[in-house]
Amino acid sequence: PPRTLPPITGNACALGYDFGTSGVRCAIVDASGEIVANPPGYSWGVAGERAQEASDWEEALFSQLAALPADARARVSRIAVSGTSGSMLIVDGDGAPAASRGSPRMYDFSVSKQAVGDSGEAALALLRRCTPEGHPVRSATSALAKLLAYHFESPLAGSERLAHQADYVASRLTGGAIASDWHNALKLGFDVRALRYPEWLTGGEIGEIA
């Protein structure tokens, strides 16, 4: 359900992370929107922009956190994490990367070109059969296409879960369970108007998998 959070007030601050295509930046802002701390960014390097491991995300996360002044960190009462849309991985029941599933699939990973064997084509064929014409999930780089391609490579286990980049990073920062938001779930098929997953996703052929 929707949550409404009151604005931060007084001495409290918010910490924001941006995991982008070239690197990671973070900043702490106060209740008036003024920047309190903004350390130099973390760069993936040219080779790392499209080939990343979950451990790279964690290294960037905690490197940026350590670069923030302790007094500024102590004022943080809200945290937000933004990741590259469509970047995802499969995690096990404990929230750790599923070892058998390999590296994360980045925002530009195309199941039609990069998925193993004919798993990508099988995923796209299923999406064409079961999803509305023109829906974003039909893209070969959508999170749902990547999830289905994983399944056609090797059937998803009951304990396996999809985690978007921002979902995974936030869980590592808070120590909590993997959770997502509307923005990340959009390319998974979430209906942001009705605030629910549509019936074509939760039922039928796709529902039996996802």
Q: How far apart are CA 122 and CA 130, in angstroms?
A: 12
pTM (predicted TM-score): 0.91
Long-range pairs for 94-99: beta carbons < 8 A, 24 or more residues apart? 95/163, 95/168, 95/171, 95/177, 95/178, 97/53, 97/54, 98/160
Report pLDDT for 45: 86
Q: How confident is the model over 23-76, as pLDDT tens digits?
A: 999 999 999 999 999 999 999 987 767 789 999 999 999 999 999 999 999 999
**Residues 174-189, mean pLDDT to the nearest whole number:** 89
pLDDT for position 182:
86
| % of the chain residues with pLDDT over 70 | 99
**The predicted structure's pLDDT at residue 1:** 58
d(CA 90, CA 102): 9
Q: Where are the extended beta strands (E) located within the chain?
A: 13-19, 23-30, 35-37, 42-43, 76-82, 88-91, 161-164
70: left (phi over 0), alpha (psi -120 to 50) or beta: alpha
The angle, 0 to 180 degrees and rounded to 10, between the axes of the packed helices 119-130 and 143-153 is 130
